[in-house]
Amino acid sequence: MPDGPDIAEFQREVASWLADHADRAPRDYGAICPPELIERGISWQRTIRDAGFAGIHWPTEFGGRGLSVEHNGVWLLECARAGVPPVLNMVGLVLAGGALLRYGTPAQQERHLRATLDADDVWCQLFSEPGSGSDLGSLSTRAERDGDRYIVNGQKVWCSGGRYSNWGILMARTDPAAPKHQGISFFLCPMDLPGIEIRPLKQMTGESEFDEVFFTDVELPADHLLGPEHGGWGVGMAVLTSERGHIGTAVISLERRLDSMMRLSEGRDLDPTARQELMRLLSTGSAYKAMAQRQGPVASTAGSLMKLGITQMTFDAAMLRGDLAGASALLDGPDASGMLAAPGGRIAGGTSEVQRNIIGERLLGLPREPKPESSRS
């Protein structure tokens, strides 16, 4: 066990600190800081760092506190309860930071880990492509080795925070002749390299939180490779598993949404269908909360079960809240925005269809889906 406070003592420490400092935080924007809040997000990250709550489970030599992932889980849950973001953005401290801790060379760790905690390095994720989102193994962005550099060409989409990030975690194909999961490498990519073009994507909510990123003959130094060449699939899957493992905050967010629906329904004469749906969501939400508390903050395949259930519940809750709020509330405001944004949770971090495959194959032991080439008669 790491030295430091036990879980109960740490929870009291966190709750007390947040009670005194939550007013300095931006609104709880979730996993990714929207562009209009980036300055406040960076300031909040540095406030967290100064208080010793950034990189809670990271080794002390990299600026962390050296505590357990359970301590970090307490921080995530208490931030969710306080309605403040626990990090500047998840891509930096969870995805890039986790990958660097596990796969980085000493030089890469020295260069990036403290800078990430300090919000000097701000990260975006460069995985999805127009033709490969859920089927990430089919990505087509190329990184061709040329001496001490790689020449990168291709396109990425649904990049969160690309416009304000100075670094990105990039998956690209380095061996086109290899089977699709075996010819991919993982890179740390400076976002100011010549040949990188970033364009905002307009969402149906009217916001532009995501970007598409184009690579045209981008020269990426070879020492920016993270992990083994052609071994990036394993690095990427470890990163995505970490993303799905931070499920406790989603439970608290869902809990707040259900509480708000209960308040909205007070004094209303709900029809039997709406009343039954509300009770179903409240009881199912309690079950997922208990499951999350049993699982804890450690990422695992069970995270796919939680991700599937909670994102579907969030969608259903947004639809019911829209019904309860009435037609006028859907023209503008948080109810309208919530309904428009709700489908995104079932796509980000691996679609619901992908999560069902993972649950069937890895948790239930069902046969793997046949490959297209093997299913032909």
Query: Contact, 360 vs 352, CB < 8 A?
Result: no
Beta strand residue intervals within 15-114, DSSP E: none
User: Is 243 one of the catalytic residues?
Assistant: yes
Q: Which residue has the tokens 């052609």?
A: 230
Distances (CA, A) of 225 to 139, 183, 192: 17, 14, 17
CB atoms within 10 A of CB 20: 9
Which of 78, 212, 243, 277 is labelled catalytic?
Answer: 243
Number of residues that this document lists for the chain: 377
Q: Name the percent of the chain in helix, strand, coil, to the closest 5.
A: 50, 15, 35
Check if the beta carbon of residue 122 is closer than 8 Å to that of residue 90. Answer: no
Among the listed residues 205, 207, 208, 217, the one whose alpha carbon sits nearest the alpha carbon of residue 337: 205
Q: Are 14 and 81 in contact (CB under 8 A)?
A: no
Half-sphere exposure of 91 (CA within 13 A, CB side): 25
Closest by CA to 263, choosing from 284, 248, 278, is: 278
Cβ neighbour number for residue 19 with a 10 Å cutoff: 11
> Which residues are part of the catalytic machinery?
243
